[in-house]
Amino acid sequence: MSIPSGFVHDYSEDMPRALYVHIPFCAKRCQYCDFATWATVRTDTLMANYVDSLIHSLHQLASVGLLTSIQTVYLGGGTPSLLGEKLVHLVKEIGQLCAPVEFSCEANPESFSQSLAQDLAVCGVTRISLGVQSLVDQELEALGRVHSAQTAHQALTFAKQAGLDVSADLMCGIPLQTHQSWEYSINQLLNCGVDHLSIYPLMIEEHTPFWKQYQNGLLALPDDDVQAQMMCFAQNMLQQQGFSRYEVASYARPNKQCQHNLAYWSGVSYLALGASGSAMLSKQAYEAFCKLVPHMPQLDADISRVRYTISSTHRQVATAQCLAQLSYSLELLTDRQAAAEDLMLAARTSYGITPVLYARACAALGRLKLDAALNQARRMGLLEQRAYCQWTPTQQGWLLGNELYGLLWDLAQKPVASMQIAGISNG
């Protein structure tokens, strides 16, 4: 797989290329979910107020030029499709403020109708990411999913008929799942003509219903070896069908990679709106953002990257009249930390550490320390050198990603500075 044009360049002075918008509402929280989501009925006016607040924030971002370079948009959740017509309205507003070449939207099958699929396509959405997770009813019920296998098939059909690129999420190592049912779910999605698959092992996180069941001895932790076998099986099966693995959890047919995903792994600045939305800003973009949130701190000379996460709740977002009224968690990265982060993120992809990234990391980290870390990863079987100054993850590197990413992140040497910024009062 060739390296995309512009993958991992120095974007330190660039404006954001990607926009993420978090929709936190769901019909029901799943047994394993630890995301920023809330069970909400369709008639709750909170959702309409939340969308109105997002639209106002989008116009604020546009007013200081932060949307001028946006190339990809991703509406995630939660369940954006639960918004129905309000989702179409939001998509229209985004389309009027920027012109993304890729516009992705997450959906769950139970709230994704034929009319919604068609309306989203007409308004500029190009990709739908469906939270399928399994195509076996008993497994879906065990996960606490609302939809059935039949509903998932219908949603996939609606998306294809609307002319949308279709991605689906699948989860392995889940209760009641067998190797046979895992193969069945993958085959069913291939037969539906999906272009992109994201495959994840089940993680049992604290404060979830699954965690409580585990604590009470009612549920076993997923078997790491079984999950690894299932991930490898899926990889081989998909590659035989013309898919390529371009990121640790993502597979795509030729030219169907999610460009928004690639933005996250390639050092591109990106924006985020909505409760728990996380962004990464260059110095230039941060200075523009500070025009809207003037009580943000000034940056020291050695800071080259700022990450923010909106820490306000969904109700606080829904009632905020401007971005300055929201609360933020900030991380301030030095050039050294930014370089280590870019190495770690690049190692999540099949493109790996490119010569351009290698040269930039040498300047920030020092060639001797960088080469020592890369050679250690090679000795551990996690990285291989494909060409001069180009390193890519091995199969072992895919499976033991945390070891690889930790090794590269250690080059940052010290913890990232962080702080909390409270929103100003609307009084």
Give the residue-averaged pLDDT of 227-251.
Answer: 95
| CATH for 73 | 3.20.20.70
Where b means 16+ CB within 10 Å and e means fewer, 213-252 reads: eeeeeebeebeeebbbebbeebbebbeeeebbbbbbbbbb
Residue 274, number of CB atoms within 10 A of its CB: 25
Give the residue-averaged pLDDT of 15-33.
Answer: 91
> What does pTM read for this prediction?
0.94
Q: Is residue 310 part of a domain?
A: no
Tell me the pLDDT band of 426, cut-offs 50, 70 and 90: low
Q: Is residue 345 part of a domain?
A: no
Where b means 16+ CB within 10 Å and e means fewer, 373-384 reads: bbeebeeeebbb
Q: Is residue 3 part of a domain?
A: no
The confidence score (pLDDT) of residue 114 equals 97
Same-domain status, 50 and 150: yes
Q: Is residue 285 part of a domain?
A: no
Position with higher pLDDT, 381 vs 219: 381
80: containing domain = 18-263
Same-domain status, 235 and 359: no
Residue after which a domain boundary falls, among 224, 247, 263: 263
- Cβ proximity of 1 and 56 under 8 Å: no
Same-domain status, 355 and 259: no
Q: Is residue 112 part of a domain?
A: yes
Count of domains for the chain: 2
Same-domain status, 228 and 94: yes
Q: How far is CA 416 from the centre of its chain?
A: 21
Residue 104 burial (CB < 10 Å; 0-12/13-18/19+)?
Answer: buried
Q: Is residue 268 part of a domain?
A: no
Q: What is the C-alpha separation between 419 and 311, in angstroms, rounded?
A: 12
CA distances 290 to 6, 56, 277, 332, Å, are: 27, 17, 17, 14
Same-domain status, 160 and 30: yes
Q: How far is CA 412 from the centre of its chain?
A: 23
Residue after which a domain boundary falls, among 263, 289, 318: 263
Give the residue-averaged pLDDT of 396-403.
Answer: 92
What digits encode the pLDDT tens for the residues 166-192?
999 999 999 999 999 999 999 999 999
Q: Is residue 277 part of a domain?
A: no
Q: What is the C-alpha separation between 204 and 372, in angstroms, rounded?
A: 35
Q: How far is CA 14 from the centre of its chain?
A: 21
Residue after which a domain boundary falls, among 228, 263, 298: 263
The confidence score (pLDDT) of residue 96 equals 96
The answer to whether residue 13 scores a pLDDT higher than 70 is no
- Cβ proximity of 361 and 373 under 8 Å: no
Backbone Cα Rg of the chain: 21
Rounded to the nearest integer, the mean pLDDT of the chain is: 93
Q: What is the C-alpha separation between 375 and 395, in angstroms, rounded?
A: 17
Token pair of 308, please?
A: 């923010």
Instruction: Return all residues near 317 (Cβ < 8 A) that are at least 6 apart.
Output: 50, 53, 54, 274, 275, 310, 326
Same-domain status, 235 and 369: no
Side-chain half-sphere exposure of 237, counting CA atoms within 13 A: 18
Tell me the pLDDT band of 299, cut-offs 50, 70 and 90: very high
The confidence score (pLDDT) of residue 1 equals 41
Token pair of 407, please?
A: 């090794």
Same-domain status, 163 and 41: yes
Give the residue-averaged pLDDT of 374-383.
Answer: 97
Same-domain status, 111 and 239: yes
Q: Is residue 309 part of a domain?
A: no
The answer to whether residue 6 scores a pLDDT higher than 80 is no
Give the residue-averaged pLDDT of 252-269.
Answer: 94
Same-domain status, 257 and 372: no
Same-domain status, 140 and 34: yes
Same-domain status, 249 and 355: no
- Cβ proximity of 205 and 34 under 8 Å: yes
Same-domain status, 45 and 179: yes
Give the residue-averaged pLDDT of 100-115.
Answer: 96
Position with higher pLDDT, 427 vs 16: 16
CA distances 167 to 122, 172, 286, 368, Å, are: 19, 17, 32, 42
